Amino acid sequence: MKKVYRMEELDCANCARKMEDAIRKIKGVESVTINFFTQKMTLEAEDSRFEEIIQEAQKVCRRVEPDCRILL
């Protein structure tokens, strides 16, 4: 499954890259891109684990940048 999400309070391109790198390591993630300029994340992951993966991605984003949120 592939979905696009808006990001909120993403403040720098370097943080976006760190988030991408960490989210790629989550089991079941096929691909992820975070575009700092458009404030969007494109996530492609296993259908059966998608909700669990997006929750883990939220945690990763908060760890890198505490104010950042993925708008579901």
* CATH classification code of 2-71: 3.30.70.100
Query: Which of 5, 7, 6, 10 is closest to 66 using CA atoms?
Result: 10
Q: Give me the pLDDT at residue 16, please.
A: 97
Predicted confidence band of residue 32 (pLDDT cuts 50, 70, 90): very high
Q: Give me the pLDDT at residue 5, please.
A: 97
Going from N- to C-terminal start, the domains of the chain cover: 2-71
Q: Give me the pLDDT at residue 59, please.
A: 97
Q: What is the pTM of this model?
A: 0.93
Q: Strand 69-71 and strand 2-8: pairing?
A: antiparallel
Mean pLDDT of the chain: 96
Q: Give me the pLDDT at residue 2, please.
A: 96
Percentage of the chain with pLDDT > 70? 100
